[in-house]
């Protein structure tokens, strides 16, 4: 594990973006820079971090952690459902096949928790006992485990809007054929079970996660990322077993800090102190090492020229 001083020293080299000649126009997402070429796309995971639908700053090594953890997770689950990975020419880069993304966010939850408007705990606390078409008993408390993992799908919000909860009845027929949605349900629950098994080995609890699915050559495929601290909520098992408030090894740690400063997405976000940036980076690296069982090895910096050269070589191997 890198020391706090090493992480602070790495802040000036945190990756904000990459220009790659020869790959066409860049699509700049909240976290990734994306280039397309033929039937593949280059997904460059930067060190940008987002919450409250805003990019809030840079966390050193976060992009490398997310990309390498996704690659590892895709490899660990490829027996369950195919994924879109073609190659990984750099620690921050994934070459992926183009897919026709399904228009549903597939969130799997194992615990009654969360603070957003679509979270189970928010809906349950407001008196809803059949959110997403489920049936939840009375008397549950925040952070209680659910009887079994459940799928809580939502719409994919566009133009900065908010996701809307969906039921199975909303999806089948109107959004997706029943055969496709049934395949999604089976794959999502199997992926979540595998993710929980992996997390337990590292002393973590996979609380909930989000999957993106698409179709490649008419075959259901998991795309985007899988079981990362950005797409998933992880608690340390020790904190839960001791009865304390769950300790997060995910992006929730950052959200709570900004909320404590009075920021929830409106106006200019407060700057993150270097010590706090290092704490966030350390949690991402800790999650990587616990889940993979391997030590994190930082790639050389600055990252942008390294990534650009790797993608140029991948596109023109003979040149």
Whether residue 60 is found in the same domain as residue 80: yes
pLDDT (tens digit per residue) in 2-54: 999 999 999 999 999 999 999 999 999 999 999 999 999 999 999 999 998 89
Whether residue 108 is found in the same domain as residue 227: yes
Whether residue 114 is found in the same domain as residue 29: no
Residue 37: inside a domain = yes
Q: What is the pLDDT of residue 162?
A: 67
Residue 43: inside a domain = yes
Q: Which residues are 206's β-sheet partners?
A: 234
Question: How confident is the model over 178-182, as a mean pLDDT?
Answer: 97
Q: What is the pLDDT of residue 319?
A: 62
Record the pTM. 0.94
Distance of CA 2 to the CA centre of its chain: 22
Tokens describing residue 160: 């900065």
State the chain's maximal CA–CA distance in angstroms. Answer: 66
pLDDT over 70 at 160, yes or no: no
pLDDT over 60 at 158, yes or no: no
pLDDT (tens digit per residue) in 281-306: 999 999 999 999 999 999 999 999 99
Residue 272: inside a domain = no
Residue 85: inside a domain = yes
Residue 66: inside a domain = yes
More confident residue, 226 or 118: 226
Range of the domain at 214: 101-241
Whether residue 217 is found in the same domain as residue 177: yes
More confident residue, 115 or 70: 70
The CATH number of residue 53's host domain is 3.30.200.20
Question: How confident is the model over 204-218, as a mean pLDDT?
Answer: 97
The CATH number of residue 227's host domain is 3.30.470.20
Question: How confident is the model over 209-222, as a mean pLDDT?
Answer: 97
Residue 135: inside a domain = yes
Whether residue 106 is found in the same domain as residue 220: yes
Question: How confident is the model over 71-84, as a mean pLDDT?
Answer: 98
Whether residue 74 is found in the same domain as residue 139: no
Lowest mean pLDDT among 109-118, 193-202, 204-213: 109-118
Whether residue 94 is found in the same domain as residue 105: no
Residue 107: inside a domain = yes
Q: Please give the tally of structural domains in the chain.
A: 2
């Amino acid at each position: 594990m890198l020391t706090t001083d090493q992480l602070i020293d790495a802040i000036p080299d945190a990756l904000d973006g990459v220009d790659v000649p020869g790959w066409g126009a860049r699509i700049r997402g909240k976290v990734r820079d994306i280039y397309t070429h033929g039937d593949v796309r280059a997904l460059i995971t930067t060190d940008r971090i987002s919450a409250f639908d805003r990019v809030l700053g840079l966390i050193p090594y976060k992009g490398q952690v997310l990309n390498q953890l996704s690659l590892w997770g895709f490899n660990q689950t490829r027996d369950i459902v195919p994924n879109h990975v073609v190659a990984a020419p750099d620690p921050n880069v994934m070459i992926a096949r183009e897919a026709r993304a399904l228009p549903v966010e597939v969130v799997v939850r194992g615990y009654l928790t969360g603070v957003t408007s679509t979270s189970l705990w928010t809906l349950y606390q407001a008196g809803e006992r059949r959110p997403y078409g489920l049936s939840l008993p009375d008397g549950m408390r925040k952070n209680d485990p659910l009887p079994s993992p459940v799928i809580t799908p939502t719409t994919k919000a566009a133009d900065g809007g908010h996701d809307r909860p969906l039921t199975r009845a909303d999806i089948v027929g109107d959004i997706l054929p029943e055969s496709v949605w049934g395949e999604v349900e089976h794959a999502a629950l199997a992926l979540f079970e595998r993710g929980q098994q992996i997390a337990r080995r590292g002393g973590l609890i996979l609380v909930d996660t989000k999957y993106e699915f698409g179709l490649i050559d008419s075959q259901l495929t998991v795309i985007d990322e899988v079981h990362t601290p950005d797409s998933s909520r992880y608690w340390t098992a020790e904190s839960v077993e001791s009865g304390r408030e769950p300790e997060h090894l995910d992006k929730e740690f950052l959200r709570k800090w900004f909320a404590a400063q009075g920021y929830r997405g409106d106006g200019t976000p407060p700057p993150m102190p270097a010590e706090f940036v290092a704490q966030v980076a350390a949690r991402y690296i800790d999650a990587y090492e616990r889940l993979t069982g391997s030590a994190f090895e930082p790639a050389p910096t600055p990252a942008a020229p390294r990534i650009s050269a790797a993608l140029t070589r991948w596109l023109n191997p003979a040149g």
